Structure formats: structure tokens, C-alpha cells
A and B are shown apart, each in its own frame.
Chain A
Amino acid sequence: MTVAPLTDLPLWPPTNLDRDPLVPLDAGERRRFAGPVTRVRLPTDATAWLVTRHADVKQMLRHPGFSADLTRPGFPLLRRIPPGAFGDRRGGFIRMDGAEHARLRRMLTAEFMIRNVRRIEPLIRQTVDRALDELHAAGPPADLVAHVALPVPSMVICHLLGVPYADHDFFQERSRTLIDRDAPPERVQRHVRELRDYLHRLVEARVATGERTDDLLSRLARDRVDTGELAVDELVGMAVLLLIAGHETTANMIGLSTLLLLRHPARYAALRDDPGHADGLVDELLRYLSIVRTGLPRLATEDVEIGGRLIRAGEGAIAVLSLANRDRAIFDRPDEFDPYRAAQQHVAFGFGVHQCIGQPLARAELRIALVELARRFPRLRSATTEGRLPTRDSSVVYGLDALLVTW
């Protein structure tokens, strides 16, 4: 059932298969949505406020009057989830608020802090090297997504968590369902359950046998589960979240970043000649590509004024990271890709207490993967001749399904 005036509202997210993969929203879409706060219709026929300015996005995501709990009535969902179909959500702190969220997140902050990520850089480098060997052996031409972008972050997060990479087909397929807006609800439910069962078995094995290898699941089993601080089912939910967040996002960034760099050969060459500048380049890639393109949804739990608009308790709001990252008030000539700009203020990792906990890891993976690619494949170019590149249009995390390259 659709209420008549609803159809006058623009639909978010827009579908536009002609858009260049490197452009989050084209000029027409930007006019339609750059309100700065616009009321939109969602695929579920609910309405929500789109928040697009950098300052407003930061204010909204840092404001305690917005909830990330998608089971609350009125939450701006992008796909229909039948009531009662959310399944077991224990441990999934990305969708929790306040003290409940902080309690679980804080069990992980030390694991992902910069100092510890530096310690695993040799492992990342080794993983990248091996993936590049595979790419070399497979082509030219060869698919960079299948040989490098997907396996690198996946192998790294598996190693950190203590999940056998041999099972990657199983969990990659399932995590993809979870972030696909077009996946049928029954399939989503089944895949969540299967992922939880899978990780449950891994966690149980550690708890039961007292087997304690040097990985995150073992450490949490020992330091938190054995001490009674954390339930096994919570640890399972945290593991599911890390496994999904840890490979889908970085994988898509590696693929799209490569496409972008191949269109800017001088930048690509600079990566090899001046790898010291790679950190700045990585931030600019994150800003420019803003892969979480559908934005971050929240529910207002109190009346809050954002960008001059009163958002009332019970209304949904979506922080559009890609538009905030192209806000002229913060970034000069925002539509230009400029690795020498100061891009650190981007919000590609979100903002507020949910800001990506894996960002030091993601940054290191991206930097090492791109620098090594440029070093070992200086003559890399796209081997896709005609037509559209296969993109993930219905995914919450945008990216390429394949990128054929030659050298």
C-alpha cells in the first residue's frame, strides 16, 4: 500500500546503471538530494531524511539522540525485513547503542589499534605478495578482483580471527547476501544462521578444548568468555561482524582504487616512485570513492535539529557519506581526485562511536596492496574493452565484481 504523496518524494538510494563506477552520484542526483536535508522515500515505502553536508553528517552521527538499532519500530531500513525476522543479534554491536555498544566494542579496540596493526604488517605484505604471484601466474589478462582484491583482506581477517581461509567460499557467499539489499529475506535469515552456526562451532571448539592459539577468537575466549564477562553467543556475533566487515569493504576499495589509478597513470607511477606518499593517497581514495554509498541509517529517539531541519523522535535519517565527502565547505574542488590534498577529514569510515574500528587495518591493507601492485606491475592497464564494468549496485558496500587487467 502506497500513500499517494509518497510517490512525489525522490527514491533513495537511486538506481542508475549508467553512472560511472567512480562517481557516487551524478549531477542530477546531487541536485535532487543535496537539500541539505531532504525528505526521501525508501524502497520499503517508508520515508527518511537525507543528511548530506559534512558538518551535519558529523553532528548527526555523533549525536546520542540517534539510534543504530535497526529493530526499533520506524528504523529506516533499505529492504523489507519481516517483524521477528531479525534473528539472533547477540554480539552485533554495530547495531547497538550506548553502554551495550561500548561494552562490546571496548573488548576489541586494543586489538585493532595502530600499534598492533603495525605488528601484523609483515603478514599483510606476505599475503599481498602471494596474491600478486597468483595474478601474475593467471594472466595476462587476469581478474584483479578475484586474484587480489578479494583474497587479501579475506586472508588477513581469517588469520587475525583464527578462521580457516579454506572456508572462504562459504562465508564470502553468505556475507554478500547480508549486505545485498535485493536478497530475499528468507535467504538473508538462512545465511545469517549458517554463518553463526559456523562460527559457533569454531568458538565452541576453543572454549571446550581450552585450545588457545594466538588469534583473536582464542584471546577473547580466554580473557572474556572464561572469565564470565562475555557469553559464547556474543563472541559468535562479534566474530560474524568482523568477518563480514573485515573483507567486503577493503576488497571493494582495492578494486575501485585500482580502476581509478589506472585512469591516472601518473598517480599510479608516483605510487611506485614515492611510496612515502601512499598514506595521503589512501585517504583521498577513501574520500573520493566513499564505498558505503547508501549512507548510514539511524532512527531519531528525540527531536534533534540538523542542518536547520527539525528531525522528530521516531523519524529516520540517513547520513550520506559520499556527499559529505564532496562538500565544498571542507574540500576544495571536491570532484577532483587529488592525492596531495589534506583528505583526513573525510567520513568514509563514518563518525561518532560507531566509526570503523578496523580503519588502521583497512588503511594498511590498502596502502600495501596498492604500493606493491604499482611496484610489481608498472605497466598495468585495464583489459576491459567495451561496455559496463560489472558493479555491485544493490550492495550496501559498492564495488566491482571483476576488473580484468593486463600488463
Chain B
Amino acid sequence: MSGAVRVRVDRDRCCGAGNCVVTAPEVFDQDDEDGLVLLRRAEPPAGTVDRVRLAVELCPAGAISVVPRPAPQHSATP
């Protein structure tokens, strides 16, 4: 059971290797201008969570992180 997650990317760290785009194209993209990571959706659909976690492992630059998605009633942003 993979719980719902929220994804964050750090473009300052990204080195544009593109592993995330290969692994979970529904969630990650690369900027046409600079080749750095772009997030298509911060809240990946249920079926992609395992691949998003693999993308975290594969990202050479440590630019992707996932945190548990806060339950709807806590709408505060960290």
C-alpha cells in the first residue's frame, strides 16, 4: 500500500539527466529551454506512486523528494 504523496523538485539541484521523465512521464517533464525538471503534477495519481518513488532513487542529483500528502482537513502549507 503506497499512501498518497506530494512531490517536490528542486531545479537548483537538477542536472537534467532526465531519468525522472523516463520513469514517470505523467509526473515529470523537462523544460524546453534549459532541460531542467518540471513538475506536471505535484500530486501524482495513485497508479504512478511506485514509479515516482523509483524516480527519487534514480535521480542522480537528489533533486526529487516525496512527502506524505496531508489529509484534506489540514490544508495548511508547510
Do chains A and B stick together as partners?
Answer: yes
- CB contacts (< 8 Å) of B54 on chain A: these are 344
The reply to whether B22 and A114 contact each other, CB–CB distance below 8 Å, is yes
The reply to whether B18 and A62 contact each other, CB–CB distance below 8 Å, is no
Report if B31 contacts A (CB, 8 A): yes
> Known: A62-B60, A344-B54, A351-B60. Is A114-B18 also a contact (CB below 8 A)?
yes
Q: Which of B18, B22, B57, B60 is close to A350, meaning CB atoms less than 8 Å apart? A: B60
The reply to whether A110 and B17 contact each other, CB–CB distance below 8 Å, is no
A353 CA / B35 CA spacing, docked (Å): 14
- CB contacts (< 8 Å) of A111 on chain B: these are 35
Report if B58 contacts A (CB, 8 A): yes
Q: Which of A61, A113, A344 is close to B16, meaning CB atoms less than 8 Å apart? A: A113
- CB contacts (< 8 Å) of A354 on chain B: these are 15
Q: Which of B31, B32, B58 is close to A345, meaning CB atoms less than 8 Å apart? A: B58
- CB contacts (< 8 Å) of A352 on chain B: these are 60-61
A350 CA / B60 CA spacing, docked (Å): 8
Number of interface residues, chain B, beta carbon within 8 A: 21
A109 CA / B18 CA spacing, docked (Å): 9
The reply to whether A105 and B15 contact each other, CB–CB distance below 8 Å, is yes
A349 CA / B35 CA spacing, docked (Å): 18
A298 CA / B61 CA spacing, docked (Å): 16
- CB contacts (< 8 Å) of B16 on chain A: these are 105-106, 109-110, 112-113, 357
> Which residue on A lies nearest to B12, using beta carbons?
A102
- CB contacts (< 8 Å) of A102 on chain B: these are 15
> Which residue on B lies nearest to A330, using beta carbons?
B57
> Which residue on A lies nearest to B62, using beta carbons?
A62
The reply to whether B60 and A355 contact each other, CB–CB distance below 8 Å, is yes
A108 CA / B54 CA spacing, docked (Å): 25
> Known: A344-B58, A350-B60. Is A355-B17 also a contact (CB below 8 A)?
yes
CB distance from B56 to the nearest CB of A (A): 12
The reply to whether A62 and B58 contact each other, CB–CB distance below 8 Å, is no
> Known: A114-B21, A114-B30, A355-B15. Is A109-B36 also a contact (CB below 8 A)?
yes
- CB contacts (< 8 Å) of B17 on chain A: these are 349, 355-357, 359
A109 CA / B63 CA spacing, docked (Å): 15
CB distance from B57 to the nearest CB of A (A): 7
- CB contacts (< 8 Å) of B62 on chain A: these are 62
A355 CA / B62 CA spacing, docked (Å): 12
CB distance from B54 to the nearest CB of A (A): 7
CB distance from A249 to the nearest CB of B (A): 15
A154 CA / B61 CA spacing, docked (Å): 29
Report if A334 contacts B (CB, 8 A): no
A349 CA / B16 CA spacing, docked (Å): 13
Report if A115 contacts B (CB, 8 A): yes
CB distance from A285 to the nearest CB of B (A): 16
- CB contacts (< 8 Å) of B33 on chain A: these are 110
CB distance from B69 to the nearest CB of A (A): 25
- CB contacts (< 8 Å) of A345 on chain B: these are 57-58
A106 CA / B23 CA spacing, docked (Å): 21
Q: Fill in one digit per residue for A350-379: 1 if any B CB lies within 8 Å of its CB, else 0.
A: 111111110110000000000000000000
Q: Which residues of B are interface residues toward A (Cβ below 8 A)?
A: 15-19, 21-23, 30-36, 54, 57-58, 60-62
A-B CB proximity, top 4 nearest? A109-B16, A109-B35, A110-B35, A355-B60
5 A-B pairs with C-beta separation under 8 A: A61-B60, A105-B15, A105-B16, A111-B35, A344-B23
